[in-house]
Amino acid sequence: MSDRTESGASEGVAGRNLPTLELHVPEPKFRPGDSVDFSHFDIPAADATARPDEAVQPAQIRDLAYGLIRVLDEDGGAVGQWNPNLPPETLLRMLRAMALTRAFDARMFRAQRQGKTSFYMKSTGEEAVSIGAALALARDDMCFPSYRQQGILIARDWPIIDMMNQIYSNTGDRLKGRQLPIMYSAREAGFFSISGNLTTQYPQAVGWAMASAAKGDTRIAATWCGEGSTAEGDFHSACTFASVYRAPVIMNIVNNQWAISSFSGFAGAEATTFAARAVGYGIAGLRVDGNDVLAVYAATRWAADRARSNAGPTLIEHFTYRVEGHSTSDDPSAYRSAEESSLWPLGDPIARLKQHCIRLGIWDEERHAAMDKELAEMVRDAAREAEKNGILGHGLHHPMESLFEDVFEEMPWHLKEQQQQMLDEWKAAGL
């Protein structure tokens, strides 16, 4: 009887008139040469989203993972329940930090094109993601960034000449040339070492946050990754641990629409939002206008207050746009329409905050132009000082023996022997 049943079932399926199976391959809406139309985007009004209590259960705010938290409206006003009502000095500090980040990016991009360094990555159009978060967090909270959050260091007043020394891997580089340019590390600024391996910082941040809680500390952790990196296993491992142990951590997804040459659909953007990944883990999820620095600040502050009150982690999707190439090794004109960046419906983060400050009467076009000039000159002068320590092509900037240093507190005997052997061979070769 068993054989007849299996045979009958098999024959029945085979005899049906079924369509052939097909795979869906994501395809961006606009390719090079196409006209761009973003009218399909559903952008809610700036005051449309309610702000819940920080201790709310994640299941009660599922809709926040599918909407878009905004504060700045089209006229430059700050409206709605998420408006953080920041004082003028904080608004102007935000504006200056974003402008300095953009000026820094422009100078370092030019340096790479001049052959002074091998690599650089700009954050043009995404400055609000880093600056808004950095100012919402406490100075001693630990940040676990990806490779486009240089604005965190700038917002925390880290010396830009130190960042330039790292980019040039010169004699002033505290990391001694061991990191790819732009992969900074500044423990004193609460800035964990950047890794080129995608999303390794996520479980590190969750682990750090768990340790902080286990020790009875008051500091929280925050981490960032791109939307494509949410496909990595480390992302999901981190979400599991964060959910289970209610780790005091903020997990940021920077959805800038594009990976190095593939659009966000390959990471799942066609199916749902990236903030919705929080739903399955029982984590609070927020989706934020990433070009609205006040919305980024407000969402980060909400998540930080939630973490400090032991209510659990928060996952924030920052909906933004990568204006420039993925890096100096990338040419976006090969895979996307040139119109996209200029027609992006959420605008430019610096221009939007400038408009808001002018509307409040605390800023004007003349002062903004003067600030841009001042910052460009400051970055230029810092670059000239950093270049005195060496640039790419000037030879080795650090002694060969440093290859063996800073791994152990006390170098083991066998490494001392290897170090000496290397130096002897180096000398014998006349190098």
Amino acid code (one letter) for 29:
K
Q: Please give the Cα distance from 256 to 263 (Å, whole number).
A: 9
Per-residue tokens: 117: 């360094």
DSSP string, 183-249: ---BGGGTBPPP-SSTTTHHHHHHHHHHHHHHTT----EEEEEEGGGGGSHHHHHHHHHHHHHT-SE
Q: Please give the Cα distance from 292 to 77 (Å, whole number).
A: 11
Q: Are the C-beta atoms of 310 and 220 separated by less than 8 Å?
A: no
Domain ranges for the chain: 58-329+341-387, 400-431
pLDDT at 423: 94
Sequential pLDDT tens for the chain (431 residues): 455 555 555 556 666 889 999 999 999 999 999 999 999 888 999 999 999 999 999 999 999 999 999 999 999 999 999 999 999 999 999 999 999 999 999 999 999 999 999 999 999 999 999 999 999 999 999 999 999 999 999 999 999 999 999 999 999 999 999 999 999 999 999 999 999 899 999 999 999 999 999 999 999 999 999 999 999 999 999 999 999 999 999 999 999 999 888 889 988 889 999 999 999 999 999 999 999 999 999 999 999 999 999 999 999 999 999 999 999 999 999 999 999 999 999 999 999 999 999 999 999 999 999 999 999 999 999 999 999 999 998 888 888 888 899 989 999 999 999 999 999 998 999 87
Inter-axis angle of helices 365-387 and 88-113, nearest 10 = 40
Parallel, antiparallel or unpaired: strands 221-226 and 314-319: unpaired
What's the whole-model pTM score?
0.94
pLDDT at 3: 52
For 58-329+341-387, CATH number?
Answer: 3.40.50.970
pLDDT at 395: 80
Quickly tell me which residue has 């952790």 as its tokens. 221
Count of residues making up the chain? 431
pLDDT at 16: 80
**Residue partners of 74: CB distance under 8 A and separation at least 6:** 46
E-strand spans in 290-385? 314-319
Q: Please give the Cα distance from 164 to 196 (Å, whole number).
A: 18
